Amino acid sequence: MQNSSREKLALILITYWVTILIARSLIFYFENKRFIEPLIIIKGFHIYHFIIGLFLLLIFGGVFYLLGLKRNFFSLTFLGIGLGLLFDELSFLFDLQLDDYWGMRNFLAIVILAFPLSLFLFWPKKKQMERNLTLGRIFNRKQSSHYFISIVIPAFNEEKFLAKTLQSLGSQTYQDFELIVVDNNSGDKTREIAENFGAKVVFESRRGVGWARQAGFQAAKGKIIATTDADTILPQDWLERIVREFQKDKNLAAFGGLYILDSGTFPSKLGVYYFLYLIWIWDRLFSGGWSFAGPNFAVRREAFLKVGGFAPEMKLGEDVYIARKLKAVGRVKLDPHFRVKTSGRRYKDGVLRALCTYAPNRITSTVLRREKFNYHLSTIRTETSLLQKSFFLPLMAAVVFLFLLFYFSNPSISEAKSVRLIKQGVTSPVREMQKNTKEMQKFVMKAKQGIKAKRKLRPHKIWQSQKLPHSNKFF
């Protein structure tokens, strides 16, 4: 399953802004420090970075669209970098005048390009009406005691999410399955919704996902038991792919995949989509084999009975724990590209908050080989948070920061600064002359006062004070 267009566009937009801010900040720094600007010169020719951006767009844009290749994390990232480098020097495309690099039309071009992309990202999703429900195949399907595959869905107060999960099962290309919903002592309409969709409801009074999965697996009659969560939307070929894997490999004890988020913050969606596989690789290195993700795995019933099932007292990580036990009785396979779409309600407050929930348990189970059986997992029934609504704040901060760079480096503003400096330079000598004039006036006043004082003295005192030399020439 490919990621949605919103997450792909968000990744392009993030790398676009980061590229522009880094390029502008570097040039602003070098210009103000009076160092040599960071230039790219090849064989004496100055290569503007909009040429590099155009080159990246041609490679990671045209090639991927024309050849129909899969657009992964790196291709989308380079698309954003290419757009950033290209539009950072937009004015150069028209007249190649260096003075326009900090021109305001360049700033407007950068912001105007990103504005419609941002609107598309944050425009509220339209609630589509449920049309042509494919649930008839669940309602009217005859019950049988010989199913090849059973589906187990643990549910605790999932009335807001369960219906979408069951609807996605109604549109499966493979329809020969047993549907079991485990009511984990819910206090809402979970059981009623499951029964309306034709599911077999198993009641488990002991709360915990471990107890719920264990009860559902024990009640299943199929040779293959698949499981997902009550807040997960399954692709149409989900069951078909699982059945095909077990049919072609008789030694396969378990098969699974990963997931993407249907809600939550954009950083959470991007992180889970592009980096979740790295966590599973890290887990494989320490545990010696693949582990499973709760919303997306299936087990051969024989293998499940051999290992004794789950550790039901576990409230988190029961899917990882059973994968380790199954490695001893058969082959365990995981396809990282085989994904389902699950709710991001535990990621609604950001990636770090979710890591604080899952990471301690994962580290202790993989590295220390200790299972936290009494781990407390809080109940969350909403998918939105204030953090999701405030995603515009970093975007506005980027725009303001970029505007300040333009403002302080704009040539017209620099000229205005030089004019003010010239004015200060003209007035400063005048002030110095005025200061000297005042000092001269003080000196003249003191001299006059000294002359007046001497005139008041007696004549013999004046004569003595002059001390004229004595001469007998005239006598």
Residues 360 and 312 both lie in one domain: yes
What's the token pair of residue 202? 């198993």
Residues 145 and 187 both lie in one domain: yes
Task: Tell whether 392 is covered by a domain.
Answer: no
Residues 284 and 347 both lie in one domain: yes
Task: Tell whether 474 is covered by a domain.
Answer: no
Question: Residue 6 burial (CB < 10 Å; 0-12/13-18/19+)?
Answer: middle
What's the token pair of residue 389? 């609504």
Q: Any residues with CB less than 8 A from the CB of 432 and at least 6 apart, and which?
A: none
Residues 102 and 166 both lie in one domain: no
Q: Answer yes or no: are the C-beta atoms of 171 and 134 closer than 8 Å.
A: yes
Q: Establish how many alpha carbons lie within 13 A of residue 462's alpha carbon, considering only the half-sphere containing its beta carbon.
A: 8
Task: Tell whether 416 is covered by a domain.
Answer: no
Task: Tell whether 157 is covered by a domain.
Answer: yes
At 94, which amino acid appears?
F
Residues 142 and 220 both lie in one domain: yes
d(CA 312, CA 373): 9
Question: Could you report the average pLDDT of every consecutive run of 10 residues in the chain (475 residues)?
Answer: 65 88 85 65 73 84 73 81 85 58 79 78 50 44 73 93 92 92 92 92 91 94 94 94 94 93 78 82 78 91 92 76 86 92 77 65 60 57 58 77 83 56 46 57 65 52 44 38
Q: Answer yes or no: are the C-beta atoms of 387 and 265 closer than 8 Å.
A: yes
d(CA 224, CA 301): 6
CA distances from 467 to 151, 302, 460 (A): 131, 136, 11
Residues 110 and 198 both lie in one domain: no
pLDDT of residue 132: 35
The distance in angstroms from the start CA to the end CA of the chain is 135
**Model-level pTM?**
0.66
Residues 308 and 187 both lie in one domain: yes
Task: Tell whether 205 is covered by a domain.
Answer: yes
Q: What is the 3-state secondary structure (H, E, C) of 70-101?
A: CCCHHHHHHHHHHHHHHHHCHHHHCCCCHHHH
Quickly count helices (H) and strands (E) in the chain. Answer: 18, 10
d(CA 376, CA 354): 14
Task: Tell whether 238 is covered by a domain.
Answer: yes
Residues 105 and 198 both lie in one domain: no
Helices (H), 289-334: 301-307, 318-326
Task: Tell whether 388 is covered by a domain.
Answer: no
For the chain, what is the domain count? 3
Residues 79 and 103 both lie in one domain: yes
Task: Tell whether 282 is covered by a domain.
Answer: yes
Beta bridge partners of 313: none
CA distances from 23 to 13, 28, 75, 157, 407 (A): 16, 9, 20, 50, 16
Can you give the CATH number for the domain in which 365 is found?
A: 3.90.550.10
Residues 304 and 155 both lie in one domain: yes
Range of the domain at 403: 5-126+399-409
Longest dimension (CA), the chain: 163
Residues 84 and 22 both lie in one domain: yes
Residues 111 and 164 both lie in one domain: no
Residue carrying structure tokens 């360049």: 106
Q: Answer yes or no: are the C-beta atoms of 289 and 255 closer than 8 Å.
A: no
- Give the phi and the psi of residue 321 in degrees, each rounded to 5: -65, -45
